[in-house]
Structure 1
Amino acid sequence: MNPLIPLLAGAALVVPAGANTTVMTDKGAVRGTTTAAGTRSFQGIPYAAPPIRWTSPRPAAPWTGVRDATRPGPACAQPAGLPVGVPSDAEDCLYLNVTTPAGATKSGGVTTSGGERNRLPVIVWIHGGSMMFGTGDMYRPDRLAADAVVVSMNYRLGVMSFLTHPALDSGSPHGSGSLAIEDQQAALRWVRSNIRAFGGDPANVTIMGQSGGGYAVCDHLAAPGSAGLFHRAIIQSSPCAGSDGGTRTRSAAEADSTAVIKAVGCEGAPDVGACLRSPGISTASLLAAYGAWNEPRPVAGTSLLPLSPAEAFRTGRFNRVPVLIGVNHDEENGRYAVAPPIAAEAYEPTVREQFGPRSEAVLARYPLSDHDNSAGLALATISTDRGWAVPTYQTAELLTRWTSTHMYEFAERDTPWFVGYPAPDFPWRAQHMSELAYLFDLDLFEPRSAAQNRLASRMVATWTRYAAEATPGWAPFQPGSPHVQSLTSGRWTSTEFRHDHKLHFWTHLPH
C-alpha cells in the first residue's frame, strides 16, 4: 500500500495558511508550498473522486477547511518494470499537481515590471510510460513554470484503464477500454474550472505529452469530448500516424483482456463485471495477470474516439489547434544498447528474421560498415527510421493540411544517461526520453553538465514560447516546404530529415 494513501485519500487536512500558498478551488481551499526554485507547488489535488473499478471518473467531493497540498497523490496502480515506473496497487489515484511562478497570485496572473497583472499560459503535462507506468509528479517542472502554469496528473494505467469486456461496458457511456483518456479529460475540465485561481489562463491551455503521453495528446486531438479543453498541442516521440498509433480496435482490446479475466478466475462467472469488481479480486492479481510489457491503447470506433488519430488527421475531423510535433534522432539506441553487445554476426540473421523477403533491400541500405560494425547501432538505426522518424513525418504531413504545424528533431549527441544503469556499448545520443532531461528535472537521469544546462534553458524557453504564442521560433512544416528544426547544443538549423532517415526507401519498400 502506498504510504501516502492515508494522508491524501481521506478527509482534508486543516493546516496553517501560508503567504500566497493558499488557493481556493471549486471544491475547497488548498495550501501548497514555495519551492527553493522560486515556484509555488500544489500537489495531490483531487480532480475526481476515488474511482470505482472500470467506471468513468466522477466529480470529487468538496471539503471544508484547507487541504494539505504539499505532497503528491499516490501513483496509479502499475507493476514493476520501466525506470519511469512507480510500483503501486493504489486505485484511489486521480490527483493532479500545479506549479506556478512564485509571483502568481491567487487573484490571478503575475505582476509585471509595470505593475499590471497578466495571466499565464497553461501547460498540461501528460506523462509517458507506455500507458502502463509513471506519475505526473516525478517530472519536476520548476523551469517550465518560470513563465507558465504547469499541471500534471496521474491517470489510470494498464489493466485498470484498458481492460475491455462487454460486462464492463456499463461503467462508461463510451464502453470499456479507454478510461485513461476519460481521466485526462476530467483533469482538463478541472483546469478549465480552476486554473484562473492559480494565475493561469483557461483560454490558453497547451496539452503536452511524450511517448504514451504523446499518444494521449493525439487521442485528445481526435476526441470530440476534448474540444475546447485545450488550445495547442505538443507531441513528443509519438508517431500517431504509424501502425502503433494512439488507438486500437475493440477486438484487439478484448483479445488482450481475455487471458486476464481467465487468470483471475472470472471467465465463467455468472456476472463477469461483478466478479472483476469484487473485493476478492485484488489489484495485485490483476496487475500480475496483465503483465508488465503490454502497450495498451484506447479503443477507436466509440463515442469517445470515433476515429483513430491517423484517420482523424487524414480526414480533417479533429480538434484543429496548432501542433508542435517532434521525434528524437536516435529513439531506439537505448533499446539496442544491451550488455553484452549484440554480436556483429547476428546482424544479418536478425534483419532476415524481421524483414523476410525485404531483407536484401534493408541490408543493402543499412550495411553494417556504415554503423561502426556495431549490430546494435545498425539495428537501432533501422528501428528508429522505420518505426519513429517515418511515421512522425507522416503525422506532420497529415496535420499540416488542416492546422498550423511545426516539427522538430531532438538531435543532441551528448545527453545524460539513466542513473543506476550500466552505460551502453555504443553512444546512446538522442535516445527515447532523452529530451525530457532538458525540459524537466528528473531523478531518472544523471545531472546535466553546464553545456547541457544551456541547451535545457533554450528548450524550456522554446516550449513556453510555443505555449504562449503558438510558434517555437522557426518556420512551420508546410506542404512543399516541410521544415524540420534540429535541436542540438550547437546552432539550430533545418535538418535533412528525409535524407537522414531514408524516408523514400521506407515509403517505397514493398510490404
Structure 2
Amino acid sequence: MLATALATSALLVSPLSAVSPLSAPADTVVRTDLGQVRGVTDGSTTTFRGIPYAAPPVGALRWRSPQPAQRWKGVRDATEYGKACAQLEHPIGVASTSEDCLVVDVTTPKQPGRDRPVVVWIHGGSFTNGANSVYGTKRLAAQGDLVVVQVQYRLGALGFLGGNYGLEDQQEALRWVRRNAAAFGGDPRNVTIMGESAGAYSVCDHLASPTAAGLFQRAIVQSGPCAQEYSETNYAAPRPKAVAEKYRRDLTTELGCTTDDCLRQVSAERLLEATAEDEFGPVLGDKVLPLHPTQALLSGRVNRVPVLHGINHDEEHGRYGAQEAATGVAITQAEYETAVRTQFGAKAPKVLATYDDLEPAGLALSTVMTDAQWAAPAYRTNQLLSLRMPTYAFEFAGDAPWYLGLGRPEWPVGSHHMTDLTYLLDLAIFEPADAELSAEVIERWSTFARTGQPNAAGTAYWPRATPFDRQVLSLDPAGVTRTDFVAGHRLGFWR
C-alpha cells in the first residue's frame, strides 16, 4: 500500500532523481588509485559520479566477495550517474537489470580544502531498492563542509541470497574511501558511516562486523535500531542462517537449477521476477556478521566508535497515512483490531486496551506499530550502544514534510519514516523541510563527523546517553528539546 501511495505521489514529481542535472561547468580532474576522473562543479559543490570501487560482480563473480576494479587509462568521465543495481521499479529506487553497478559518487564543497570529515552515505530501500541518483547530497556537503560519498551495493537476491555480498560491497567501498579520500580533500582517518532504514541496519551490522574493523571512526544510525530482531514482519534485521539457506534452496529449485553454476546463468531479469514478492537482508553466521548486533553489543565484540542513533516519533504514520490518502478509504476499527490480533496474538486485548484513547483507527494502528516495532527496539539499542561507546540518542518529531502531490489523512501524520532525511538530503518525493531545523541538523551532524560529539555552537546541549537514560533529544521544527522517550512511546507497557 505504501509503495502504491508513493508511486501515486511520484507520478506528480518530475524528475524522480533528487538532483537536478549539473549545469555549467568548470571541469575538475582528480587522480584516484585506479586512474583519473573528471567531475563537474555546480554552484557550491563539485561532484564525481559513477566511480567504480570494485569489479562488476557478473558471471563467475556473482555471489562472491567483491573483487578489485580494473585501472583505466586517460581521464574517466564522472559527470553522469552509474547504473543502479538490479531492482524493480519503486518510488525510492530506479528500475534496473544491471549488475555492473558497484560505484561511488563523491560530493565535495566547491572551495578547495583538505582533511575534511568524510561521510559515507548508505542508502535504504529494504535491501531491495535504492540508488545514488535518488538522494541529493549537495546541501549536506556544502553546508556541513564535508566530503560526502554515496555507495551503491548489490540488492535483493543478488546481494543477500544466502550471504552478505551487499554488506561486503559496502566494506569494499569503505576501503576505497580509505585509499582515495585525501584526493578529494577528505581525511581518510575521519570517516563517518551514515545510513537510514536498511542503510541504518547496515551501519549496525558494520558495528558488529569483524571485517569492518578500522574502516570508520563514527557512525550515524537513522531509523534502523540495532536491537531489532528478525521476524516475518521485521525482515530487515539480520536473519538466521538457516532461514537464508532454506530460501536459497527453494529459489534454486524454483529456477530449475541444482548447482551454483546453473544459478549464475539465470538472468537478472528472471531473478527479479522470481523474487518480486520476497524480502531480503543480511545473514547471520559468516565472517562478515558472526553475531547479531544485539549479541555483539552485549558481549563487547563490537567496533567501538561514537554513535548518533535515533528514529522518527511517528515512523508508521507514513505507511498507514499514505494508504488512506491514496485509496481515499479510512482504516476501520475492525481492520485495526484484526491487524493487532494478527501481530500480537493472545496479547492483542491488552494492546487494544492500552491504546483505546487514540482515534481514528488509522492513527491508533500506526501508533501501536511505531511503538512496538520501532520505539521499543530503539530504546534497547540506546541502552546497548551507550554501554559500549559514546552514544547520542535522538528522535525527529513534530510536523514533518509529507509526500508531494498526495493528500493527507484526517489525522496528524507527524514525523514519519524517511522524513528525517529531508533535513539532510534532497528527495524528490517529499515537500521541503523546515529550513531552520535543517540548518541545525546539518550543523550537529557535521560537528559530530568532525569531533565525535554533536554539540555545535549556539545549539542546546545534547548529553551522552546512558543505559538508564529515559530521555532523548527531540528534533522538532517547533523547538529542539529533551523529551521522555519511554513515556512518549508507552515503553513501560511494551517492556
Distance between the aligned counterparts of 2:348 and 2:239, measured in 1? Answer: 28
Describe the shift of the 1:421–1:285 C-alpha distance in structure 2 as closer, same or farther (beyond 3 A): farther
Distance between the aligned counterparts of 1:424 and 1:30, measured in 2? Answer: 48
Describe the shift of the 1:297–1:353 C-alpha distance in structure 2 as closer, same or farther (beyond 3 A): closer
**Which of 291, 302, 320 is the equivalent residue of 2:286?**
302
- 1:182-201, Cα deviation, whole Å (9 max, x unpaired): 10011000000001010000
Helix, strand or coil for the counterpart of 2:134? Answer: coil
Q: Gaps spanning 5+ residues in structure 2: where? A: 1-24, 231-235, 456-461
Amino acid in structure 1 at the alignment position of 2:252: I
Q: Which residue matches 1:61?
A: 70
Amino acid in structure 1 at the alignment position of 2:397: A
Q: Is the 8 A contact 2:193 2:219 kept in 1?
A: yes
Q: Which residue matches 2:104?
A: 96
Q: Which residue matches 1:6?
A: none
Q: Which residue matches 1:446?
A: 431
How far apart are 1:59 and its partner, in Å?
A: 0.8
Give the structure-2-normalised TM-score.
Answer: 0.88
Helix, strand or coil for the counterpart of 1:185? Answer: helix
Describe the shift of the 1:447–1:400 C-alpha distance in structure 2 as closer, same or farther (beyond 3 A): closer
More off after superposition, 139-148 vs 439-448: 439-448
Greater CA radius of gyration, 1 or 2? 1
Q: Is the 8 A contact 1:218 1:246 kept in 2?
A: no
Helix, strand or coil for the counterpart of 2:195? Answer: strand
Distance between the aligned counterparts of 2:467 and 2:35, measured in 1? Answer: 49
How far apart are 1:231 and its partner, in Å?
A: 0.1
Amino acid in structure 2 at the alignment position of 1:40: T
Distance between the aligned counterparts of 1:222 and 1:436, measured in 2? Answer: 24
- 1:142-173, Cα deviation, whole Å (9 max, x unpaired): 12112110000110000101112xxxxxxxxx
Q: Which residue matches 2:313?
A: 329
Describe the shift of the 1:350–1:61 C-alpha distance in structure 2 as closer, same or farther (beyond 3 A): closer
Q: Which residue matches 1:31?
A: 38
How far apart are 1:73 and its partner, in Å?
A: 0.6
1:471 partnered with 2:457: no
1:42 partnered with 2:48: yes
Q: Which residue matches 1:256?
A: 247
1:153 partnered with 2:151: yes
Amino acid in structure 1 at the alignment position of 2:184: F
- 1:303-326, Cα deviation, whole Å (9 max, x unpaired): 111111111011110000011100
Q: Which residue matches 2:80?
A: 71
Q: Which residue matches 1:8?
A: none
**Which of 441, 444, 456 is the equivalent residue of 1:462?**
444
Distance between the aligned counterparts of 1:84 and 1:408, measured in 2? Answer: 24
Helix, strand or coil for the counterpart of 1:341? Answer: coil
**Which of 419, 428, 431 is the equivalent residue of 2:413?**
428
Distance between the aligned counterparts of 2:438 and 2:56, measured in 1? Answer: 37
- 1:109-166, Cα deviation, whole Å (9 max, x unpaired): x2xxxxxxx51000000000011100123211112112110000110000101112xx
Q: Is the 8 A contact 1:126 1:136 kept in 2?
A: no
Q: Using CA pairs below 8 Å that are at least 6 residues apart, which structure has the higher relative contact order?
A: 2
How far apart are 1:292 and its partner, in Å?
A: 4.2
Q: How many residues align?
A: 450
How far apart are 1:504 and its partner, in Å?
A: 1.2
Helix, strand or coil for the counterpart of 2:138? Answer: coil
**Which of 120, 125, 140 is the equivalent residue of 2:121?**
125
Q: Is the 8 A contact 1:127 1:213 kept in 2?
A: yes
How far apart are 1:214 and its partner, in Å?
A: 0.3
How far apart are 1:348 and its partner, in Å?
A: 2.9
1:223 partnered with 2:192: no
Q: How does 1:101-112 map to 2 (within 5 A)?
A: 101-104=109-112, 110=113
Distance between the aligned counterparts of 2:293 and 2:56, measured in 1? Answer: 30
Amino acid in structure 1 at the alignment position of 2:33: D
Distance between the aligned counterparts of 2:136 and 2:65, measured in 1? Answer: 28
Q: Which residue matches 1:9?
A: none
Identity %: 49
1:139 partnered with 2:146: no
Distance between the aligned counterparts of 1:439 and 1:71, measured in 2? Answer: 22
Q: How does 1:12-411 map to 2 (within 5 A)?
A: 21-36=28-43, 38-51=44-57, 52-81=61-90, 83-104=91-112, 110=113, 118-146=114-142, 147-164=145-162, 177-244=163-230, 246-266=237-257, 269=258, 272-278=259-265, 281-294=266-279, 296-337=280-321, 338=323, 339=327, 340-367=329-356, 370-371=357-358, 373-411=359-397
Amino acid in structure 2 at the alignment position of 1:184: Q
Q: Which residue matches 2:458?
A: none
How far apart are 1:470 and its partner, in Å?
A: 1.1
Helix, strand or coil for the counterpart of 1:74? Answer: coil
Q: Gaps spanning 5+ residues in structure 1: where? A: 1-17, 105-109, 111-117, 165-176
How far apart are 1:293 and its partner, in Å?
A: 4.7
Distance between the aligned counterparts of 1:60 and 1:466, measured in 2? Answer: 32
Amino acid in structure 1 at the alignment position of 2:246: A
Q: Is the 8 A contact 1:408 1:487 kept in 2?
A: yes
- 1:245-277, Cα deviation, whole Å (9 max, x unpaired): 6421111112222332223221xx3xx111011
Distance between the aligned counterparts of 1:427 and 1:293, measured in 2? Answer: 32
Distance between the aligned counterparts of 2:229 and 2:260, measured in 1? Answer: 31
Q: Is the 8 A contact 2:384 2:467 kept in 1?
A: no
- 1:49-99, Cα deviation, whole Å (9 max, x unpaired): 111211211111111110000011100001124x21211100100011000
Describe the shift of the 1:460–1:292 C-alpha distance in structure 2 as closer, same or farther (beyond 3 A): farther
Give the structure-1-normalised TM-score.
Answer: 0.85
Distance between the aligned counterparts of 2:138 and 2:42, measured in 1? Answer: 9
How far apart are 1:420 and its partner, in Å?
A: 4.4
